[in-house]
Structure 1
């Protein structure tokens, strides 16, 4: 891993100075009066080019103090794109909006998202990142780490810890509002994540850098069985899914992942020191939620919703428990692939009829 790049409107000043330097040979050939006028014009031009609002319209800049997360836009995006996750949606909105309102937060915002694959953990982290940095995962200020890709070898844990600390320090120095997403936390080697504890703690600064405006998001399958059991217990007792609240799951999750050697947070100091602000549960998805995913995918491809295709796709998906078949065992994860197959068949039939 390399250290982070410097960013922000301040980088425009060296570029503007370089432009003026390139103009000097041409200016030297002019008459004295013309030289004075040309230098004035060049200075004005470089000053204009280095003005933050102009520069940042072409090059991504770190958000300034006056730029805040738009809670209404975040709420709308979560409602439109994240299905069946009322607990996760409400927690993410409250946490992100609350952190954005504070001019001087006491610590970085830390969210730990838990649930089976395909339930929306990656999507939620993507939506939050997009609201903080419009380029989302493509932003130079949003950093994604995948455990099996970036930290594959157990015997290199100490090296990974050093690299991770340098990477975070470099990038937060460049942009205090940096976002760090750690995927596959359940595959992360025990103890590795503790390296970032100083950046999550209640310190005003660490080595001259404040990390209190940064956002850290952990994604994990650990604790999914605990979440699924709570959801199933509610269903079997005749209670509505929407009655499930964060308090029904958060303490169970924190204890469960702390004692789970395959959680990435096994006996972690981040839990011991209460540095994770929210353990966010993602509930297993029901038939109606998977159908929402299928319809949304159709619309995203520019196709009208075909309910016949929706039913054909849902028929191919598997659900649990074996007797009740309430919840999708893969969430919405295979929707794209299955829709590809069925949509190709629809298009072939349409061409044959024409």
Structure 2
């Protein structure tokens, strides 16, 4: 359908260009104006812009994705759905939405960031208004910290000036230089505008392995007590998590004023994944590849994964991170 509409627009536009050479001046001016208007229409049709056509929350889509694609993360799924929905539907938020996602590798932090982007931006992670920063790529040298601070401030200011509803994702926060993230504190605070720019509609997501020990220990304690992981609530983890992150000298959030000033809206824990969740990941990956999900294959893949503690083999060491490569062997 989109291709058909584009063809018709191009056909009319080209026809108008030909007609320019056949009419008298007054008519020519009219046709030229028509051609210019059609040109802008075609440009806007093809190029992403900062408006509701390209940026709009699909709340139902986000809920379905969290339910069907996120496994073993009942706390994270619930928090993210409510936080994102509440923020986007608020026409006058008092500050940007700031989410800090924590847990071991392979538990779904990067993946859920993608789901959020996919259900807000028409272009998803490829949107011009979604920006990903990775510590080792963008901020590799501690000796350049002051330069990084200045660059980061300019990047964020420039992108929010271009589109108020921008999203910024900071991966590997546990590897980020302490103090760097504090340079953007003013943009996350309760200000109406800073130098004429409002940051209130932006979204900031921090991804980190920091705090993973506290989350895992809590999950293990529940398991040892014979309690279901679904009984774990945010209140069982949030305080422990924020303290663990704040006091971790290897974390980009170490002694950060973002925590001290309560600018992080939610510390979102991602629980370690069990065998059954790894099976679900394998089944979902087979479906995504166009294969009919095979429980037997999923079980084989899940059995190949390393679990801990060694004696009980309760939690996957790498979550679902290696599932894609392992499936290549069995399919």
Query: Do Structure 1 and Structure 2 share a fold, with TM-score over 0.5?
Result: yes
Deviations 1:47-93 (A, max 9, x none): 24435xx6443111113499641211110111121111010001000
| Equivalent in the alignment of 2:200 | 212
1:194 is matched with which residue: 175, 179, 182? 182
Residues 63 and 177, structure 1, Cα contact 8 Å, conserved in 2 = no
Query: Structure 2 CA distance, aligned partners of 1:182 and 1:266?
Result: 15
Q: Which moved more, 1:174-183 or 1:300-309?
A: 300-309
| Equivalent in the alignment of 2:285 | 297
Deviations 1:299-353 (A, max 9, x none): 111111222221221121111112211110110001111111122xxxxxxxxxx
Deviations 1:13-64 (A, max 9, x none): xxxxxx9xxx7xx96x76xx6121121122123224435xx64431111134
Query: How has the CA–CA distance of structure 1 residues 200 and 298 changed in structure 2, closer, same or farther, with 3 Å as cutoff?
Result: same
| Equivalent in the alignment of 2:29 | 39
Pairing of 1:1-354 with structure 2 (within 5 A): 34-51=24-41, 55-64=43-52, 68-343=56-331
RMSD of Structure 2 on Structure 1 (CA): 1.9
Query: Structure 2 CA distance, aligned partners of 1:266 and 1:234?
Result: 28
Structure 1: unaligned runs, 5 residues or longer: 1-18, 344-354
Query: Structure 1 CA distance, aligned partners of 2:318 and 2:55?
Result: 38
Deviations 1:74-124 (A, max 9, x none): 101111211110100010000000001111110000000000000000000
The TM-score normalised by the length of structure 2 is 0.91
3-state SS, counterpart of residue 143 of structure 1: strand
Query: Structure 2 CA distance, aligned partners of 1:98 and 1:88?
Result: 15
Query: How has the CA–CA distance of structure 1 residues 264 and 67 changed in structure 2, closer, same or farther, with 3 Å as cutoff?
Result: closer
Q: Which moved more, 1:167-176 or 1:54-63?
A: 54-63
Query: Structure 1 CA distance, aligned partners of 2:278 and 2:141?
Result: 36
Query: Structure 2 CA distance, aligned partners of 1:312 and 1:218?
Result: 34
Q: Which moved more, 1:317-326 or 1:90-99?
A: 317-326
Structure 2: unaligned runs, 5 residues or longer: 1-12
Query: Structure 1 CA distance, aligned partners of 2:44 and 2:221?
Result: 52
Q: Which moved more, 1:237-246 or 1:90-99?
A: 237-246
Query: Structure 2 CA distance, aligned partners of 1:35 and 1:187?
Result: 66
Deviations 1:115-150 (A, max 9, x none): 000000000001111111121221111000000110
| Equivalent in the alignment of 1:350 | none
Query: How has the CA–CA distance of structure 1 residues 268 and 131 changed in structure 2, closer, same or farther, with 3 Å as cutoff?
Result: same
Query: Structure 2 CA distance, aligned partners of 1:123 and 1:73?
Result: 15
Runs of 4+ in 1 over 6 A off after TM superposition: none
3-state SS, counterpart of residue 105 of structure 2: coil
Q: Which moved more, 1:111-120 or 1:296-305?
A: 296-305
Residues 68 and 101, structure 1, Cα contact 8 Å, conserved in 2 = no
| Equivalent in the alignment of 2:8 | none
Q: Which moved more, 1:132-141 or 1:265-274?
A: 132-141
Query: How has the CA–CA distance of structure 1 residues 66 and 289 changed in structure 2, closer, same or farther, with 3 Å as cutoff?
Result: closer
